[in-house]
Chains A and B, each alone.
Chain A
Amino acid sequence: AQKITQTQPGMFVQEKEAVTLDCTYDTSDQSYGLFWYKQPSSGEMIFLIYQGSYDEQNATEGRYSLNFQKARKSANLVISASQLGDSAMYFCAMREGPPARRTGANSKLTFGKGITLSVRP
């Protein structure tokens, strides 16, 4: 069974600083994909970044990077140079099976509980 754990309480960060959002996962699958999504108050789910279980390098997408520690089963999201518009809920998610598509929404996903990030001016 898969499980995504996001245990941080609401996070606060000063504008222009970096912040790390934690995510640990549990799976017996050898092939899997890890995703981070942003959900602003409007409700839409915005794909941020993807990491395949066999990817040797940590994924990066602009200001977003994923600190993938496979042995520890962690996939923390790092947001650099925080902006006020980064204030939102952030969800870590996992897809079972072979890594395939980037955005993740094409497969059944298991989501964590989410973390609320607030960026202070």
Chain B
Amino acid sequence: GAVVSQHPSRVICKSGTSVKIECRSLDFQATTMFWYRQFPKQSLMLMATSNEGSKATYEQGVEKDKFLINHASLTLSTLTVTSAHPEDSSFYICSAKSNTEAFFGQGTRLTVV
């Protein structure tokens, strides 16, 4: 079936650096992708809706300049955590939409040290 690939699956970075997470739809074109964040033992919280060719729509309380989203093609959306701090450590997961189905990526576990 359709696959959404998210990379990397795990990343450890130093405080103050930026980290880019990729979400790819492997066998379909995704006009819309969603980025979620999940703290340990907690629910998924929607961060933003990524639309191909236009600006992302951020949920209330999510800093646009902190979490940069780029959806430059129909198969790729990226989430960049800028100037990462330990409190940004979390599990980030994307979902991608096609015309008929949509699936979640495998998730990225970010640890900022």
Contacts and interface: CB of A to CB of B under 8 A. Distances in A.
A42 B102 CA distance: 20
Interface in B90-106: 91, 93, 95-98, 100-106
B109 A91 contact: no
A93 B44 CA distance: 10
Contacts of A109: 34, 44, 46
Contacts of B46: 108-110
Contacts of B49: 108
Contact of B43 (A43, A102, A112): A112
Nearest to B48: A108
Q: Interface of chain A, helix or strand or loop or mixed?
A: loop
Contact of A114 (B42, B97, B103, B109): B42
Contact of B97 (A93, A106, A111): A106
A58 to B, nearest CB: 22
A105 interface: yes
Contacts of A64: none
Contacts of A73: none
Contacts of B91: 43
Interface of B: 32, 34, 41-46, 49, 91, 93, 95-98, 100-107, 109
Interface of A: 37, 42-45, 47, 91, 93, 101-114
15 contacts: A43-B106, A44-B105, A44-B107, A45-B44, A45-B95, A47-B103, A91-B44, A103-B101, A105-B96, A106-B98, A106-B101, A106-B102, A107-B97, A108-B49, A109-B46
Given A43-B107, A44-B107, 16 more contacts: A37-B104, A43-B91, A44-B104, A44-B106, A45-B95, A47-B104, A101-B97, A104-B102, A105-B104, A106-B97, A107-B97, A108-B34, A108-B46, A108-B49, A110-B46, A114-B42
